Each structure stands twice: as C-alpha cells, then as structure tokens.
Amino acid sequence: MIRLFGHILTSLGSKVLIALSGLALAGFVVFHMLGNLQVFQGPDALNSYAALLRDMPIALWTVRLTLLAIVAAHIAFSVRLAIDNHRARPVDYVTHRYRRASLASRTMALTGSLLVLFIVFHLVHLTAGWLDPSLHNRLDVRGHRDVFGNVVHAFQNPVLVVIYLAAQAALGLHLSHALSASFQSLGMEHPMLDRLFRGAGPLIAILVVVGNTAIVLAIAFGLVHA
Ligand code: HEM
C-alpha cells in the first residue's frame, strides 16, 4: 500500500493518473456532445433525453460526483507534475525553443485553466440556471424541463455565442494534445500504435469541436429555433 502511494507520488505515477482521468473526462465530453446534438431533432428529443437523465437521480448524482472527483484529481496531479517539472529544471531558459512542441502542448496549462473557468460558468448558466431562473424552470408541452428552449435562448445572445465558441477553441487545443499524450503516458509506444494515437487525438478533438460549434452556430444563425 505504502509502495503504491510512493509510486503515485512519482512523476510517472502522476502522468498515468493524469492520463486516465483525462481519458475519462474526454469520454464524458464526447458523450455530452452526442447527447446535445439532439437539439437538431427538436425540443421533444432533447427535453426527453434531459428528463431521462434527471429521472435517475441516484445514477445522475453518482456520475456527477464521480466527474467532480475526476476533475479534482486531474487538476491536482497536473499542478503537481508542473511544479515537479519546474523544480527539476536547473536554470530557467533564457530563450524558449519551441521548434518541436506544438501550440497545443505549449498551452496545456492555459487551455486547462480556461476550461475550468468555462465549466464553472456553464454549470451556473445551463445546469443551475442562475443567469435567468424564470427561463430555467419553464416546462414544455409534455411537462418536461424546457432544456431545448434554454439552449436556443442562450445562443441567440451574441455574448454567450462568443463565450461558448472561445471555450471550443480551448477545448479543441487541450483535447488534441491531451489524448495523444495520454496514450503515450500509458506506455503505448509501439510505432504503429503511436502513429494511430497521434492522429486519433486531433481527430476526436475536431469531431467534438465541430459538433459543439454546429449547435451554437445553427442556433445563432436561426437554423434551429424555438
Ligand atoms: C455547445 C456546447 C454545449 C452545450 C449546448 C451544452 C449543453 C448543456 C446543457 C443543456 C446542460 C444541462 C443539462 C440539464 O440541465 O439537464 C449541460 C450540462 C453540463 N455540461 Fe454542457 N454543453 C456544452 C458543452 C460542454 C462542454 C464543452 C463541457 C465540458 C468541458 C460541458 C460540461 C457539462 C457538465 C459537466 C454539465 C453538468 C451535467 C449534469 O447536469 O450533471 N458542456 N450542458
């Protein structure tokens, strides 16, 4: 047990935990985007889907609390690894040589921090409905919470459109590097697997960003409306 904790506290252990927690969060993001695409099928589909999730309170809260614990672990181990890496560097580089590092890998801390801010804002906005409580509690004709109406109302506001699109840029950059790096941290270093996963990260990131952006822009341009 003590050995296991010792291993977790090493940077290799931290990398594995960051990779595993990151993959779980990426899984949620893909699943969430696929669920949200039901906005294109109209109010019935999206509101019934949201009601289905809310009708299983034990499962819903188990998933919510698990996600929260995973996010907390992901942030804690990432900060720890960044501090360890910084300490391990004998002198600060005077000039930064970024020739081989991609934009995504250089901006992981920035995009990760922006995503945390976005998630807090997003929960306040669409899950808690604190920006407009009267709208949040509105029901549709079937008596379900009108999640479709909330989402459509949100993206008719240009400020919210900009916030959500900016979040997609941060999400895309973070995911594209994180997924490929996770597979490497998990020791999948075979040349063929390496090539596959290097391509899979950006591909999944693009699909998620395109899916989410399509929702925001389709509403902003009136293709989907209440
Ligand atoms: C255009 C993009 C997005 C749309 C339209 C959207 C829509 C929604 C909606 C409508 C809810 C509330 C569901 C309900 O009240 O039943 C929600 C909850 C949530 N969203 Fe998003 N979302 C988007 C992007 C994201 C992203 C990028 C993340 C994470 C990085 C995220 C994380 C969450 C979380 C954690 C919840 C709380 C789930 C729960 O209720 O337990 N969302 N989203």
Summarised one tens digit per residue, pLDDT across range 189-225 is 677 777 777 788 899 999 999 999 999 999 999 999 9
How deeply is 78 buried, as exposed, middle or buried, from its count of CB atoms within 10 A (0-12, 13-18, 19+)? Answer: buried
**In the predicted structure, residue 49 carries a pLDDT above the cut 90:** yes
3-state secondary structure 66-131: HHHHHHHHHHHHHHHHHHHHHHHCCCCCCCCCCCCCCHHHHCHHHHHHHHHHHHHHHHHHHHCCCC
- 1 C-alpha to center of ligand 1: Å? 37
Confidence (pLDDT) at 133: 85
> Of all atoms in ligand 1, which is nearest to the CA of residue 154?
5
pLDDT-based confidence at 83, cuts 50/70/90? confident
> Of all atoms in ligand 1, which is nearest to the CA of residue 63?
41
Q: Which residue has the higher pLDDT, 192 or 93?
A: 192
> Residue of the nearest CA to atom 41 in ligand 1?
64
What percent of the chain has pLDDT above 90? 65
Confidence (pLDDT) at 171: 98
What percent of the chain has pLDDT above 70? 89
**In the predicted structure, residue 90 carries a pLDDT above the cut 90:** no
By the 8 A CB rule, do 215 and 151 touch?
A: yes
**In the predicted structure, residue 16 carries a pLDDT above the cut 60:** yes
Mean pLDDT of 113-139: 93
Confidence (pLDDT) at 101: 73
**In the predicted structure, residue 188 carries a pLDDT above the cut 90:** no
Q: pTM here?
A: 0.89
Mean pLDDT of 56-70: 96
> Residue of the nearest CA to atom 13 in ligand 1?
127
**In the predicted structure, residue 96 carries a pLDDT above the cut 60:** no
* Residue 193 identity: L
